[in-house]
Amino acid sequence: MNHLFVEFSIILILAGLVSFLVSLLKQPSIIAYIITGLVVGPLGYYQLQQTEVFSALSQIGITLLLFMVGMQLDISQLKKLGRTALLVGFGQIVFTTIIGFIILRALGLPLLSCWYIAPALTFSSTIIVVKLLGEKRDLQSLYGKLVVGIFLTQDIVAILILISLSTFSQGSGGIYSGLPLWQSIIMALVRALILILVIWWLAVKALPRIVKAIGHNDELMLVFSLAWALGVATFVSLPLVGFSLEIGGFLAGLALARSGMHYEIGGKIKPIRDFFIMIFFIVLGTGLTVNNFSALARPAIILSAFILVGNPLIVMLLLGFFGYKPRTGFFAGVTVAQVSEFGLILVASGLALGHLKQSDVSLVTLIAIITIAISSYMIKYAAGIYDLLKPLLGWLDLKKGEAEKGWESIVLKNHIILAGANRLGHHLIAVLQKQKTPFVVVDFDPLVAEKYKEQGLMTVCGDINDEFVQEAVCLSKAKMVISTIPDFNDNLALLHSIHRSVVQTKARPKLIFTAQDERETALFYERGIDYVISPHFMGGVHLAKILSGRDAAFGLKKLRENHLEMLLNHSH
């Protein structure tokens, strides 16, 4: 039987079992893959024979990972997110690198190892954080927008570091040619700039036409995308060009970033990327050294503590300096409390160049396991952790939250609060505007909030469960609270805040909440909600009435005309 087939089967079975066990602990799959590599490698339960094959597959994983990063990298977002996200992201990298370097030197690590490991500790996992924030539906929140900007800055810096590392490759005109290091780095950046200009020309002139021509064929689009990503990566890794496969993958993705089809391409590539990146982390796990674990334990614990506590504190201080409240700073800070796949790629590159020892890579990998495991819980339970630490974090409100101000002048009584104004809430605003009762809109998406502010509506950008926001919209004096927030736990937290205010004012507002299914609907009614919006139930009842009419076809036609008219009005 083919040995490669057998080894592949064993690895996938082990990865599946370990992933299942890790998922029970609510942990990311990356940890499961590294543990799988640890089982088949250093622990010796099964020794891989086809190591070269798996190493090649892991390179495909890294290339596709950078391809996706390049395709999703929209520089124009930095303008939308403002200079704060850019400066905080860059500041976090600088301060984490400096402090991390000092700690590494104090622990006795060689100078070259410190130059690699210190920057590696600064990068946070976009894959993990975006997934967790997506599950919490916080990607569009104020702190979520800031986090996107911080991670975008990290991605740019990481790519620049990887480009600079190309100067150390044989035949690339780097230090091996006798040039000073700074000249080698400048030459690499110039070559990269020329290559980016060529890619940009292709992205503007050729690729949009090709993508448009094959966009109707899903299989052809998938094959073209993979061929483009791996082909460009292979081209730039040639000695004549002198860059790594990872840089090639990134540039290939960057060329497709403005193709108009990058979302569709990303959706098709993502499962393939996830498969090959799994191989990368498994191979990384096989390289862990357990014979000197006792020597790694002390520096790993110290550096993990720095990342879990120091990194969030740095972000909180920077955001506080720019005028954000401690709650926003804390929620953004906990997202950077882990070592990312970029950090692991960086030290793996250092190992391949002969600048790092396997023990250095093992140290960073161990730190990654510790920080990813703990920070995942920190992100999920950030609200509860913040409530516990809130008395200690007040001093971080350095400028009294001036960056989040804009609603202090709102003085309301017997008013309506609409929490969530993007989808379902959008249709309610038109009705509320026709009534005489004053109302205030609360939404945590800055773009949505800005849109309604421009329309002259009283709008607050923030989380309705933030006590500062609740004070600003006078929650205790409202006569009605409408929540279109889809998350059940967020609604429960809002209900708890309302009940707490009722104890103080003895005036309970009318409550209209949103539920996603029958179970949530029943639970809300048990808790005294006056009316529960259940989109699926209401939609089903509405459609049933139409179909039960004598002329169902006419009813559907009329409904379609009304729907199109509403969409047209909404677009204007």
The candidate with the shortest Cα–Cα distance to 242, out of 189, 183, 200, is 189
Per-residue model confidence (pLDDT) at position 174: 44
Number of H helices, E strands in the chain: 25, 6
Residues 368 and 487 in one domain: no
With respect to residue 549, please indicate whether it lies within any of the assigned structural domains.
no
Name residues whose C-beta falls within 8 Å of residue 149's C-beta, 6 or more positions apart in sequence: 77, 78, 81, 82, 84, 85, 86, 88, 89
Residues 217 and 132 in one domain: yes
- Establish how many alpha carbons lie within 13 A of residue 529's alpha carbon, considering only the half-sphere containing its beta carbon: 23
Largest CA distance in the chain: 87
* More confidently predicted of 219 and 548: 219
Is pLDDT at 214 greater than 60 in this prediction? Answer: yes
Task: Look up residue 305 and give its amino acid.
Answer: A
Residues 362 and 288 in one domain: yes
The candidate with the shortest Cα–Cα distance to 88, out of 323, 372, 393, 374, is 323
pLDDT, tens digit, 9 for 90 and up, residues 355-397: 888 888 888 888 988 898 898 888 888 888 888 888 888 888 7
With respect to residue 25, please indicate whether it lies within any of the assigned structural domains.
yes
CATH number at residue 391: 1.20.1530.20
* More confidently predicted of 105 and 410: 105
Last residue of a domain, one of 364, 396, 428: 396
Residue 139 is given by DSSP the state T
Rounded CA-CA distance 469/404 in Å is: 10
375 neighbors 338 (Cβ within 8 angstroms): yes
Question: Taking the CA atoms of the chain, what radius of gyration do you get in angstroms?
Answer: 27
Q: Which residues pair with 418 in a beta bridge?
A: 441, 482
With respect to residue 545, please indicate whether it lies within any of the assigned structural domains.
no
Rounded CA-CA distance 425/515 in Å is: 14
With respect to residue 401, please indicate whether it lies within any of the assigned structural domains.
no
Residues 390 and 414 in one domain: no
Residues 150 and 281 in one domain: yes
pLDDT, tens digit, 9 for 90 and up, residues 6-51: 878 888 888 889 889 888 887 888 888 888 888 876 655 556 666 7
The first and second tokens of residue 73, run together, are 């990298």
With respect to residue 344, please indicate whether it lies within any of the assigned structural domains.
yes
The candidate with the shortest Cα–Cα distance to 271, out of 2, 29, 561, 566, is 29
Task: Spell out the SS3 assignment of 294-326.
Answer: HHHHHHHHHHHHHHHHHHHHHHHHHHHHCCCCH
445 neighbors 453 (Cβ within 8 angstroms): no
Per-residue model confidence (pLDDT) at position 169: 54
Helix locations, 353-445, DSSP H: 358-380, 382-393, 424-434
Per-residue model confidence (pLDDT) at position 3: 74
In terms of phi and psi (left: phi > 0; alpha: psi -120 to 50; beta: otherwise), the region of 401 is left
Residues 413 and 388 in one domain: no
Residues 185 and 154 in one domain: yes
Task: Spell out the SS3 assignment of 450-470.
Answer: HHHHHCCCCEEECCCCCHHHH
Residues 276 and 369 in one domain: yes
CATH number at residue 437: 3.40.50.720
With respect to residue 103, please indicate whether it lies within any of the assigned structural domains.
yes
Name residues whose C-beta falls within 8 Å of residue 11's C-beta, 6 or more positions apart in sequence: 36, 40, 48, 54, 279, 282
Cα-Cα end-to-end distance for the chain: 65
Parent domain of 83: 14-396
With respect to residue 222, please indicate whether it lies within any of the assigned structural domains.
yes
With respect to residue 540, please indicate whether it lies within any of the assigned structural domains.
no
Residue 413 is given by DSSP the state S
Task: Look up residue 163 and give its amino acid.
Answer: I
Q: How many domains does the chain have?
A: 2
Per-residue model confidence (pLDDT) at position 408: 43
Residues 165 and 300 in one domain: yes
Task: Look up residue 395 and give its amino acid.
Answer: W
Residues 244 and 326 in one domain: yes
- Establish how many alpha carbons lie within 13 A of residue 338's alpha carbon, considering only the half-sphere containing its beta carbon: 27
Residues 121 and 158 in one domain: yes
Helix axes 311-321, 326-333, angle to 10 degrees: 150
pTM: 0.67
% pLDDT > 90, the chain: 8
How much is the average pLDDT of 438-450?
Answer: 80
pLDDT, tens digit, 9 for 90 and up, residues 153-178: 888 888 888 777 766 554 444 444 55
Residues 375 and 478 in one domain: no
The candidate with the shortest Cα–Cα distance to 473, out of 457, 451, 458, 484, is 458
* More confidently predicted of 505 and 388: 388
